[in-house]
Chains A and B, each alone.
Chain A
Amino acid sequence: MSFERFGKIGFISETKVASFVKHLEDGKIMATRCSRCGKLYFPPRADCPDDLSTDMTWQQLSGRCKLLTYTTAHFAPTGFRDDVPYTIGLAECEEGVKVYALLSKDIDEKEMRIGMDLQVTPVRLPNSRITYELKKA
């Protein structure tokens, strides 16, 4: 099980949290929780810097979140040029962690506003790749 299928373009293949991709295929957005101090991490991480614990458990997020800020990009790095314009958003989940992802293309730019309700949703991409995006709640 490798992480390299995550995202439209991936740069990382090996990571201790690679099973995030498997959960994503099952339709789940998973965070990790430190078993020692209880801190919740999203994006998930394998190690807690607060107490140096590596004892983490997976926890599913509801996906319910609110938009904190966003931008519509009209220029893009390699691999994304055919997709412009696209909107990148930062949202806060009800569990308190933040999600950085694209806003679904079916949300009109005029509808976008800070504070709007969104849903983090797994999305399958061509070539058996997978990602998540922010859809209308």
Chain B
Amino acid sequence: MGVAIVGVGQTPFRRNCGINIRELCFEAFKEALEDINLAPKEIDASVVCSAPEYDKQRSPAGLISEYLGLASKPTLYAESLCSSSSTGVRVGYSFIKSGLHEIVAVIGFQKMSEISSAEAQERMGRGADIQWESPFGTMMPAGYAMFARSHMHKYGTTEGQLAKIKVKSGKYALSNPLAMFRREVTLEECLKARVIASPLKMFDCCANADGASCVIMASEEKARKITDTPVRVAGIGAASDTLSTTSRTNLTGLDCAIQAGKQAYKMAHIEPKNVDVAEVHDCFTIAELMAYENLGFCKPGEGGKLIEESQTYIGGEIPVNVDGGLLSKGHPIGATGGSQIRTIVLQLQGRAGKTQVGGAEIGLVHNIGGIGLYGNVTILKR
């Protein structure tokens, strides 16, 4: 028995959304149930996903489940930092595959404005090993910047190539009404922007946002009754790596993404070249470039050339992040994976509007938690 996605939803990603987390989740849930033949009461379990350091509500699963009318059905909380909602989809897949449940709602959210910027600043430093790395003043951009520096040294990757990834992001964000930043950015603007953590500059980094996403999953048998256009989960891979930088051996790629990708390709019986459209975790430009290589869209070290040749634009070998990606959409941690899945589902259903990749049949979602700490790759088929 296969597992399919029957509905997807997402709120706009924005700063200071002005509503509470239950209302945010409701917006995404409502969109996911629009135009499909499914009543909320038919959902028989829910998985709620966020990164708890931004939550004021203790154990949000119960609250969200109640507000969506799902109380009495089992619910639980899933967390893997920025890949929390992909982890939620993995849990949902297991629920359905095991026969425990037939229809599962995966709700991801983050209200990053829930805490003050001083509180956020304090939490920022504790994403690393708090005993041996946080005492040196590290943070997420610094972690990815060290990979960027290493990649440049080993392969000759340039700041201009990284900037071209942001230029692509800006172009496609114009067509995404849910993106936080909807404007084109020039190569010069990117290169002249202030340095955050060298060699990464402002436009190499994504921004915090508030938002929610929802993915409704069902057994294939149920899925056919719910919608005419179910999207099958063909492959699902997950891996982790060490939290400490000192234990890493690969400084030019994310091993957890390589492993998760291999698992997903094997399970889906496809190769990288069969992917028609992909969403990759571009929390930083270097993260997207490494994803090209780690997922096998090009050889290690050739990510710079791939973007240089515009091969990840629509019309190129493998269109990537044609919804603007995290770089333009914003990155509400727990909601991000669900948003990526929504984009691919819309692509495979032919509902992606101006950024539709013609004839897309196989899509891939690459969602990373932390600095290559948690890797999740999901392959979807029409």
**Which A residues fall within an 8 A CB radius of B?**
3, 6-12, 15, 42-43, 68-81, 83, 86, 88, 90, 97-102, 109, 114, 131
The residues of A that contact B130 with a CB separation of less than 8 Å are: 11-12
Q: Are B246 and A99 in contact (CB under 8 A)?
A: yes
Cα(A11)–Cα(B138), bound, Å: 13
The residues of A that contact B118 with a CB separation of less than 8 Å are: 78
Q: Are B136 and A77 in contact (CB under 8 A)?
A: no
Q: Are B195 and A72 in contact (CB under 8 A)?
A: yes
The residues of B that contact A72 with a CB separation of less than 8 Å are: 195, 197-198
The residues of A that contact B142 with a CB separation of less than 8 Å are: 71, 73, 88
The residues of A that contact B149 with a CB separation of less than 8 Å are: 69-71, 114
Say yes or no for B131: interface residue by CB 8 A criterion.
yes
Say yes or no for B91: interface residue by CB 8 A criterion.
no
Q: Are B134 and A9 in contact (CB under 8 A)?
A: yes
The residues of A that contact B126 with a CB separation of less than 8 Å are: 11, 77
Say yes or no for B245: interface residue by CB 8 A criterion.
yes
Q: Are A77 and B125 in contact (CB under 8 A)?
A: yes
Say yes or no for B139: interface residue by CB 8 A criterion.
yes
The residues of B that contact A42 with a CB separation of less than 8 Å are: 246
B119 to chain A, nearest CB (A): 9
Say yes or no for B147: interface residue by CB 8 A criterion.
yes
20 A-B pairs besides A8-B137, A77-B126, A98-B245 with CB distance below 8 A are A3-B131, A9-B125, A9-B135, A9-B137, A11-B131, A43-B246, A69-B146, A71-B146, A71-B198, A72-B195, A73-B197, A76-B125, A76-B137, A77-B121, A77-B139, A78-B124, A79-B137, A86-B137, A90-B251, A97-B246
Say yes or no for B12: interface residue by CB 8 A criterion.
no
Q: List 28 A-B contacts (CB under 8 A).
A: A9-B134, A10-B135, A11-B130, A11-B135, A12-B131, A43-B132, A68-B251, A70-B146, A71-B142, A71-B198, A72-B197, A74-B195, A74-B198, A75-B139, A75-B197, A76-B137, A76-B139, A77-B134, A77-B137, A77-B138, A78-B121, A88-B146, A90-B245, A99-B246, A101-B136, A102-B136, A114-B150, A131-B135
Q: Are A69 and B131 in contact (CB under 8 A)?
A: no
The residues of B that contact A88 with a CB separation of less than 8 Å are: 136-138, 142, 146
The residues of A that contact B122 with a CB separation of less than 8 Å are: 77-78
Cα(A98)–Cα(B146), bound, Å: 14
Cα(A8)–Cα(B149), bound, Å: 25
Q: Are A6 and B139 in contact (CB under 8 A)?
A: no
Say yes or no for B37: interface residue by CB 8 A criterion.
no
Q: Are A75 and B246 in contact (CB under 8 A)?
A: no
The residues of A that contact B150 with a CB separation of less than 8 Å are: 68-69, 114
Say yes or no for B89: interface residue by CB 8 A criterion.
no
Cα(A102)–Cα(B146), bound, Å: 13
| Chain A residue with Cβ nearest B149 | A69
Q: Are B246 and A100 in contact (CB under 8 A)?
A: yes
Cα(A72)–Cα(B200), bound, Å: 9
| Chain A residue with Cβ nearest B251 | A69
B122 to chain A, nearest CB (A): 4
Q: Are A102 and B137 in contact (CB under 8 A)?
A: yes
Cα(A76)–Cα(B130), bound, Å: 15
**CB under 8 Å from chain A, chain B span 100-148:** 118, 121-122, 124-126, 130-139, 141-142, 145-148
Say yes or no for B196: interface residue by CB 8 A criterion.
yes
**CB under 8 Å from chain A, chain B span 190-248:** 194-200, 244-247
The residues of A that contact B351 with a CB separation of less than 8 Å are: none
The residues of B that contact A97 with a CB separation of less than 8 Å are: 246
| Chain B residue with Cβ nearest A133 | B136
Q: Are A74 and B244 in contact (CB under 8 A)?
A: no
The residues of A that contact B137 with a CB separation of less than 8 Å are: 8-9, 73, 76-77, 79-80, 83, 86, 88, 102
